[in-house]
Amino acid sequence: MAENPIGSNTRGGLNKFRNKTQSADMSQMVFGKIPPQARDLEEAVLGACMLEKDAVSAIGDFLKPECFYVEAHQLIFTAIMHLFNETQPIDILTVAEQLRKNGHLEMIGGAYYLTQLSNRVASAANIEYHGRIIQQKYLQRELIKASSDIIKDSYEETTDVFELLDRSERNLFQITDQNMRKNYADLSSLIEQAKKEIHAAAEHQDKLTGVASGFIALDRMTGGWQKSDLIIVAARPGMGKTSFVLSMAKNAALIGEKAVALFSLEMAAVQLTSRLISSEAELSLEKLRKGNLASHELQQMETKVRELSKAKIFIDDTPALSVFELRAKARRLKAQHNVELIIIDYLQLMSAGADMRGNREQEISTISRSLKAIAKELNIPVIALSQLSRSVETRGGNKRPMLSDLRESGAIEQDADMVVFIYRPEYYGILTDDNQQSTDGKAEIIIAKHRNGALDTVEVRFVKEFARFEDWGNTGFPPSPSGGFVPGVTPPSGGGNNPAGYTPLSNFTGGAPMSGGAGAGGGFTTFGSKMNDMPSGGGDTGGANIDYNIGDVEDPF
């Protein structure tokens, strides 16, 4: 007895082992309650595994040894899974032999207890259902344990509360990630799902199957930002990354009527809002910042902000946001507001948690993997801005960026479904292109990686004064039934009868001063607005209450 204090393969020995387990459990009681458990079902599952050879296949992908509450059951299931992984037969004799090799046979109560387990059930018909209940009980125990740790640490005066929040959230999500894996799907059901998506795409006249960016040529190439995709938008500082995604967010919210979440780790929410107002009202940021606005400009701003306020854009400017906080907030926004696009500005300012500090490359790899996981989990596109390394500056020639310029980690390139670069030649003092055309205001959107499509470059216009990107000119679309587009002129965003949902020229609000006046009053790019939204009166508005119509005017400029 001294050599085996727990007991031999007798009923008495097993009861001693069980009593010891129960005594250990008593120390884990919370608020006087025994942790959730299902001992009878654990016995039934183990017995079924030793009765039928296919039983383990039904539960092996979601049940783990630690899911069992009784320690003896954990040891038995470990032996069963070892035999299963080695493709060995599983029955009472082989399990007993494996337990003997592991030195655990006497600890679980001997072969007698294995015989008892096999007598608990007649078949393995309901083993998966029983296994799911065991998993649920395990999840409840893990949540209780994590919550107890949070309570204990919260009482410690030396605990850093923000580090505690980060660790607590990480532990809770770890429980979810490890136990809520998605099940497989058979090919026939996947084919049906794919066919539905193809038919749905065929019904779209604009051929947009994802979230529209608002740039016609770019949307024509991508079909919009697709669900579950991670898109990296990278450029050097000052190239216009934030302006580009703000333009896309505004277009997606107002043209596509999508809810957009923007996580800004660099700029404050009010600063981003000022940029949106500047872009929409066509008033320079400097004027807005100083409040140096004429009366007609104030009226202009009020008119355009009224339209902008309809956009379902949610801005979070929490600094040093961790991936765990981002995931929690993204889930909440998806549940409460059905957010269909997430934008992060920018990736290198995020953190992977306190445990990852010190190894920056590994931290960035963790962040990029987590962003891809969020995109897949919520089934929405995630756009993350990223910095480029200084190697671009030292390179000769036109200094166009390459995938190798992505900063701090090659994992960004691997995890991303699309990598998009923003390149403005005039940023580097290149004033003419290869065709000796001026590069003033010219920007290139370079698609350097596209997992599900072609690689190409799209030309857009960058309006410095308003920090806004817009279509460069004629996009190659045929004229719309309501009037068509003028070649070389950027149509504003908005509804209409045209291939990509953009405003036809009959609603065009201009991009240059109107004849008869000077200044910035020649209409402003809005969403579905008309020229008669212009403030009336004199000043430098260039006239008032004028509505262009393509059928009456051959060249409005």
How far is the CA of 109 from the CAs of 87, 290, 395, 430, 525, in angstroms? 26, 82, 72, 81, 79
Q: Which residues are catalytic?
A: 266
Closest CA relative to residue 245, chosen from 271, 214, 224, 219: 214
DSSP code, position 406? B
Tokens of 458: 């799209």
What are the two backbone dihedrals, phi and then psi, of residue 343, each rounded to the nearest 5 degrees? -125, 130
d(CA 107, CA 114): 12
Sign, CA dihedral 519-521-524-530, equals negative
d(CA 319, CA 370): 18
How far is the CA of 502 from the CAs of 282, 396, 442, 443, 494, in angstroms? 19, 39, 21, 21, 5
Find residue 467's DSSP bridge partners: none
Closest CA relative to residue 482, chosen from 533, 548, 544: 548
d(CA 460, CA 424): 10
d(CA 134, CA 136): 5
- Plot region of 192 (φ>0 → left; ψ -120 to 50 → alpha; else → beta): alpha
d(CA 553, CA 17): 94
Rg from Cα positions in the chain: 32
